[in-house]
Structure 1
Amino acid sequence: MSDAPTSMRLDKWLWAARFYKTRALAVDEINLGRVRVGGVPVKPARDVKVGDVLTIRIGTTAREIEVKGLSNQRGPAPKAQALYAETQASITAREAAAEARRLAPEPADSIEQGRPTKQDRRRLADWDRWSATLDDSDDAGDPG
């Protein structure tokens, strides 16, 4: 009997290939539709075989990979990377997206703090910059 299986559960393969730290995280991501096999959303128990094409979305980046091998156990990173190969189109798209983010960064990323605190709001309210009071020297309001 050989050690290499002919097919295995998707969640276990994602864990063994080191895409997710635990199988539970892999199951959550699969259930959220962030992992697809052949462009179709699947369930965690779906069997994957050598040659299947997976689309995995982690954060804002999507990767299209081809399954090259199966393993029942999680090994070191070099062995895990031997279990799959990213398609050339996926590599090109990822590099183009990284270049676009470098050239035009997201404006929200420059915000260092979130909403103003109560103290910040009080300081803004005390700031008299946006006052709408009229000057006494302005006679525009007098009829006559």
Structure 2
Amino acid sequence: MDSPASARVDSWLWAVRVYKTRSAATAGCRAGHVRVNGERVKAAQSIRPGDEVRVRIAGFDRILVVKLCITKRVGASVAAEAVTDLTPPPPPREEVALLPMRDRGAGRPTKRDRREIERLRGRDDPSGLADDD
């Protein structure tokens, strides 16, 4: 397969399956979520092999390096060959204390319920008025 020397950034992002549609890729460029070599770009900006593309999706940056310029949507294996993903792994999720959850619509907790919740959280005095003297 012969690839062109350059491609539009929006069509490349769509072709390598970063965005589901080309119009979504164009909207991402227009919103400033796409950077090529550190600079914000418009959708029609040309990219070449070796360029670094940073895409902000769902609050996280994906760092991609262009290996092949493709303009048409291709199979997943060919799309994977066209890009090198340098994105660092996501930060580990903090373990959330497994507290019992109240049923939705159960209303406001009673004073007894609130004291039980505070006891489970490790606070013996829920009022916070205990003297430490």
Do they fold alike, i.e. is TM over 0.5?
yes
Partner of residue 49, structure 2: 50
Q: What is the aligned-residue identity percentage?
A: 32
**Corresponding residue for residue 84 of structure 2:** 85
- Give me the whole-angstrom Cα distance separating, in 1, the residues matched to 2:71 and 2:44: 14
Query: Which has more radius of gyration?
Result: 1
Task: Specify the alignment match of 1:27 in structure 2.
Answer: 26
Question: For 1:46-70, what per-residue CA distance to the aligned partner results, in whole angstroms no more than 9, with x for missing partners?
Answer: 0000000011111022111110001
Who is 1:17 aligned against? 16
Counterpart of 1:68 in structure 2: which amino acid? Answer: K
Q: Secondary structure at the match of 2:23?
A: helix
- The answer for the alignment partner of 2:116 in structure 1 is none
TM-score (norm 1): 0.64
TM-score by length of 2: 0.68
Q: Which residue of 1 aligns with 2:69?
A: 70
Q: Helix, strand or coil for the counterpart of 1:18?
A: coil
CA-CA distance at 1:128 after TM superposition: 8.8
Corresponding residue for 2:114? none
Q: In structure 2, how many angstroms separate the alpha carbons of the residues matched to 1:128 and 1:9?
A: 61
Q: Given the superposition, is the C-alpha separation of residues 74 and 104 from structure 1 closer, same or farther in structure 2, using an over 3 Å criterion?
A: same
Per the TM alignment, residue 40 of structure 1 is displaced from its structure 2 partner at its CA by 1.0
Gaps of 5+ in 2: 112-133
SS at match of 2:19: coil
List runs of 5+ in structure 1 lacking aligned partners: 114-119, 130-144
Cα deviation per residue 1:18-66 (whole Å; 9 max; x = unaligned)?
1111110000111111111111111000000000001111102211111
Amino acid at match of 2:10: D
Q: Which has the higher helix share?
A: 1
Q: What secondary structure does 1:64 align onto?
A: strand
State the one-letter code of the partner of 2:7: M
Name the aligned partner's letter for residue 73 of structure 2: R
